[in-house]
Structure 1
């Protein structure tokens, strides 16, 4: 069966996303087993005592190109309180990610047709720009579902002058990513 380049791109990056999720979960379980389990109060009390700080760090990370993977915040949320609290946090994380992506999209739109953008695009976003030209709005879906930098892709798409309504429609796939990854993290912590 011959798959289109767009589907191949989606599958390739989807597999990378799941590999990264497995690496993050593996690192977390190792950290939990060898560090946290030996001094659990010292680690957990510091982190869980300041949820507002965790939420602010998450918002900052989502705005600045996903510095910290959202899966780490999902792991934090599942260990924090009840299952209902986890799903509320998961919805919060997905919504923040969606809107931070839209905020960076709007920043990109601001720079659309400005001379400074060319210099910015050629230095910071040189790897993503050819992908946008090749895959167009399909890139939004792939970035929403995979570890491609969501905010950077959103900024790039905005800077290319894509319409807001189309961006917002395709960006809804971000919620699907959080649902899938959140479910996987939930299942790994029930056992």
Structure 2
């Protein structure tokens, strides 16, 4: 008597459960809750007790060009996500067209991930650099090999190192088509965080 073949979604569920993917997500979510709460709390406190953030953001807007701020943001999103994007989201609140500027940030963040991906591919072609970074990013690369696009999705949606996930994807030559699709989830992060931060600054 032949065994009933399990549906693909059940096999995937079993695989992700055994390889620790769900545990990884839960740890990421738990790790994200506190920093996010702290950022929002700081925004509230500074806005009402220290200095009006709207005035501070207006000062930044008046003294730095949009092109410069967008350039700094793109550079940050391309190289390990050095500056939290939440700071830039707060900046868009006091621009002439907040939703337009927020959309530009989301596009630049996506492009930053694409740049990191191709940087990973370029690094993989240089044995000495690849060997060095592989040693520094072993955990991320192993996770990328196990979970692929789902790890990119987690990095895109949660306050986790999106650029590092993209860099690791490039280093293992992960499918371009699948990478571009999973990375699109980055836009949802800006929609969600834009709503939260705009509410905090209202």
Normalised-by-shorter TM-score class: 0.7 to 0.9
Deviations 1:13-51 (A, max 9, x none): 2343343222111122222233324x986x445312124
Which residue of the partner structure matches residue 155 of structure 2? 143
Which residue of the partner structure matches residue 28 of structure 1? 43
Which residue of the partner structure matches residue 122 of structure 1? 135
Equivalent-residue separation in structure 1 for 2:181 and 2:110 (angstroms)? 11
| Match 2:187 to one of 145, 160, 175 | 175
Which residue of the partner structure matches residue 71 of structure 1? 86
Q: Relative to 1, partners in 2 of residues 1:113 and 1:96: Cα closer, same or farther, differing over 3 Å?
A: same
Give the ranges of 4+ consecutive aligned residues of structure 1 lying more than 6 Å apart after TM superposition. Answer: none
| Match 1:61 to one of 76, 83, 97 | 76
User: What is the Cα deviation at residue 162 of structure 1?
Assistant: 0.7
* Stretches of structure 1 lacking an aligned partner (at least 5 in a row): none
Preserved contact between residue 143 and residue 153 of structure 1 (Cα < 8 Å): yes
Verify: 1:154 aligned to 2:166, yes or no. Answer: yes
Question: Secondary structure of the residue that 1:80 maps to in structure 2?
Answer: coil
TM-score by length of 2: 0.79
* Stretches of structure 2 lacking an aligned partner (at least 5 in a row): 1-13
User: What is the Cα deviation at residue 130 of structure 1?
Assistant: 2.9
Deviations 1:86-114 (A, max 9, x none): 11111111100001100110111122354
Preserved contact between residue 152 and residue 182 of structure 2 (Cα < 8 Å): yes
TM-score by length of 1: 0.83
Aligned residues: 183
Q: Relative to 1, partners in 2 of residues 1:27 and 1:188: Cα closer, same or farther, differing over 3 Å?
A: closer
Q: Relative to 1, partners in 2 of residues 1:130 and 1:35: Cα closer, same or farther, differing over 3 Å?
A: same
Preserved contact between residue 21 and residue 71 of structure 1 (Cα < 8 Å): no
Q: Relative to 1, partners in 2 of residues 1:135 and 1:29: Cα closer, same or farther, differing over 3 Å?
A: same
CA RMSD, 1 decimal: 2.4
Equivalent-residue separation in structure 2 for 1:40 and 1:173 (angstroms)? 29
